[in-house]
Structure 1
Amino acid sequence: MTEAEALEKKQHKPSNGEVRSGTVIEDVFDNTYKEKEGPKPPRIIVWKNVIMMTLLHIGAAYGCFLIPSASHLTLLCALGVTAGAHRLWSHRAYKASVPLKIFLALANSMAFQNDIFEWARDHRVHHKYSETDADPHNAVRGFFFAHIGWLLVRKHPDVIEKGRKLELHDLLNDKVVMFQRRHYKTSVLLLCFFIPMVVPWYFWGESLWVAYFIPALLRYTMVLNATWLVNSAAHMWGNRPYDKNINPRENKFVTFSAIGEGFHNYHHSFPYDYATSEFGCKLNLTTCFIDFMCFLGLATDRKRVSREVVQARIQRTGDGSHRSG
């Protein structure tokens, strides 16, 4: 074992299940998993999803033509995914008070990307079995599959099998997560479509037609695609300053569009870091939000990787492209 490896292991011992705040979080890559030999299972298209996604994107495209006639455009909800379902519930990278959890759960319903429980479960499977048959949006299968195709076909049997075996009691015991799961469909209808449409109509006289296609449909589609780019573009294009042996990359465009989630090589190297980047708030609005919540006393216990451990990882597995700051 090299000196760099020893330093990293001293602070953080990688395993198939990370213990964070007394809870086992299975988000570290499992290199013991082997894909089954032989032919792959047939790809079964879910036509309902194909039709819904097609109509959604057609509606969003039409909404773009309506922008010049709109009096206001509101974009809110991404934090429910980035600060909520991702950094809080998937990785337990910090602790949130009940009021903050409720806010993030509401924002997550506004984002409409599956309920928190399902989102966090699939994301942990993604980290543990990244770029294998057990990865829900395996980028090895191509950009389209990683971006949206994985939602248009039946899950690979290994994804289902591995997801069922994860330790998820932290999510099952979270009352906010379970409440949102029980009332998810209703909350989505209200928060993702009805309220974004009614607010501009009621408060500043926007037409319901424009309000539906822009604040509701176009906003929703933009947030969806920004999130999907983390699964696709950030697994294909960019540098790998922390670990050249994995696919996830540092992608500035994704960092901007997904409010801080594009430091993806770093994130897969250190999934327990609340900032998902060594650079703090730089190009990272989600980290700024979490820091502000800590300032207000609504969040605590932010997990962070030491500078020494980051440098050790760069020296041990980086591709030589690292630039500080």
Structure 2
Amino acid sequence: MPPRNTDTDPVEDLLTTDEAETSVRRDEKPIVVPTQIVWRNFFWLALLHVGSVYALFGVTWKCHWYTLIWALFLYIWGGLGVTAGSHRLWAHRTYQAKFPLRVFLALGQTSAFQNDIYEWCRDHRVHHKFSETDADPHNASRGFFFSHVGWLLVRKHPNVKVKGAGVDVSDLLKDPVVYLQNRYYIPLMFLLCFIVPTAVPVFYWGESAWNAFYVAGLLRYCLILNATWLVNSVAHIWGMHPYDDQINPSENPLVSTFALGEGWHNYHHAFPSDYRTGEFGWRINLTTMFIDVMAFVGQAYDRKLVSTDIVLKRAKRTGDGSRFK
């Protein structure tokens, strides 16, 4: 089934959540609260990054090349679990997926260890509704470090919980895949993020447990985390604004490369209902390619997109002019 347009009402389509919130952001007075460090997260993420640097420079060159390919496969699987799964399927409902594909994506998302699907989608919907305000979990107006990783090192701003409580997430747990993943997330996460990535190289091609754990486990996990964080930080600070120059999200090809297509962020915040999260289809967008292949084999359907006519009208009306250069 070909993708279907979602622009039956051009005015409604153009008035996206982000544009509606722009006036709110301009008038909103920030509430200053004391910073409370979450030391557990601080030490865990510090150890993760130290271990990953050691793995990159001290272990990767010792590994069997099968292990490196395995780590790359896990990176892509976990990345797709986040991009095609948590983000485009469950958070935004930009397409529908049959049960086998939902299971594949949920398991990949679990291996990426970025909280369960329910919590990930809840935070993401709050982010879109209150982007760049105190209610945004990773508010980029607080700087690169905060939006990249700092938001995980401190207690959430009170507005995240207060305003976030009004965001509807009632649909998520109605999906049995999301419900079961939420219920058994901790044991599944340990199994898929650390145990299986380590065990497969050891048992199938004789890799040492040390090498397998550090490269296919820690390093691969750290790279996925930072690729996702780039969308929250770099793609909200640097890049062009061809569709809406009144919002921070920008078009960043480098972020799209590492985040499997999620760097076309000005487009995505202007048109969050489009399953491609970018205007130009497969251009540096592995996730869109994956969804299209899944549609071809019958696992994905009802892909929503915004017509070129609507995109051009929005770009002319609110963009920075770069779309037409």
TM-score by length of 1: 0.91
CA-to-partner distance for each residue in 1:42-67, whole Å, 9 max, x for gaps? 11100000000000001111111211
Q: For 1:53, what is the secondary structure of its paired residue?
A: helix
Aligned to 2:313: 312
Contact 1:29 1:127 in 2 (8 A): no
Distance 2:180 2:19 in 1: 28
| Partner amino acid, structure 2, of 1:130 | S
Q: 1: distance between equivalents of 2:198 and 2:238?
A: 36
Deviation (angstroms), 1:169: 1.4
Distance in 2, matches of 1:28 and 1:241, equals 14
CA contact 1:94–1:299 (8 Å) conserved in 2: yes
Say if 1:110 and 1:7 are closer, same or farther in 2 by CA, change over 3 A.
Answer: closer
Alignment of 1:1-325 (within 5 A): 9-10=10-11, 12=13, 14=15, 30-31=21-22, 33=24, 37=29, 39-64=31-56, 65-71=58-64, 72-73=67-68, 74-75=71-72, 76=74, 77-323=78-324
1:164 offset after TM fit, Å? 1.5
Please report how far the alpha carbon of residue 12 of structure 1 lies from its aligned counterpart in structure 2 after TM superposition: 2.2
Query: 1:48 corresponds to which letter in structure 2?
Result: R
Task: Kindly provide the amino acid, as one letter, of the partner of residue 133 in structure 1.
Answer: D
- Structure 1, residues 120-174: CA drift from partner, whole Å, max 9, x if none? 0100110110000000000000000000000000000110112221111111211
1:250 and 1:164 mapped to 2: Cα distance?
A: 30
Taking the aligned partners of 2:53 and 2:282, their CA distance within structure 1 comes to 32
- Report percent identity of matched pairs: 54
Greater Cα offset, 119-128 or 72-81:
72-81
1:54 aligned partner, one-letter code:
A
In 1, Cα distance between equivalents of 2:84 and 2:243: 23
Distance 1:242 1:37 in 2: 27
Cα displacement (A) at 1:14: 3.5
Q: Which residue type is aligned with residue 117 of structure 1?
A: Y
Q: Which position in structure 2 is the counterpart of 1:19?
A: none
Determine the structure 2 residue equivalent to 1:22: none
Task: Give, as a single letter, the amino acid of the residue that structure 1 aligns with 2:21.
Answer: D
Asked if the contact 1:8/1:313 (under 8 Å) is kept, the reply is no
Asked whether the equivalents of residues 14 and 310 of structure 2 are also in contact (C-alpha less than 8 Å), the reply is: no
Query: Cα deviation per residue 1:59-85 (whole Å; 9 max; x = unaligned)?
Result: 111111211100021222110000000
Q: Which runs of 4+ in 1 moved over 4 A?
A: 31-39
Give the aligned residue type for 1:66: V
Normalising by the residue count of structure 2, what TM-score does the alignment of the two structures yield? 0.91
Q: Is the 8 A contact 1:92 1:272 kept in 2?
A: yes
The 8 Å contact of residues 30 and 134 in structure 2, kept in 1 or not, is answered as no
Q: Which runs of 5+ in 1 are unaligned?
A: 1-5, 17-26
Please give the secondary structure, in 1, of the residue aligned with 2:21.
coil
CA distance in 1, matches of 2:285, 2:29: 41
Distance (whole Å) between structure 2 residues aligned to residue 47 and residue 179 of structure 1: 30
Distance 1:7 1:86, change over 3 A: closer
- The alignment's C-alpha RMSD in Å is 1.9
Secondary structure of the corresponding residue to residue 323 of structure 2: coil
CA distance in 1 between counterparts of 2:324 and 2:258 reads: 22
Offset, 1:208: 0.1
Paired with 1:204 and 1:63, the residues of 2 have a C-alpha distance of 19
Change in CA separation of 1:162 and 1:204 when aligned onto 2, cut-off 3 Å: same
Q: Greater helix percent: which structure?
A: 2
2: distance between equivalents of 1:169 and 1:86?
A: 16
Cα separation, 2, equivalents of 1:311 and 1:277:
13
Using the alignment, how far apart are the partners of 2:24 and 2:247 within structure 1? 15
Structure 1 distance, partners of 2:299, 2:44, is 38
Q: Report deviation, 1:178.
A: 1.1
SS at 1:12's partner residue? helix
**Contiguous gaps of at least 5 residues in structure 2:** 1-6
Deviation at 1:13, TM superposition (A): 6.1
Mapped to 2, the partners of 1:102 and 1:145 lie a distance apart of: 33
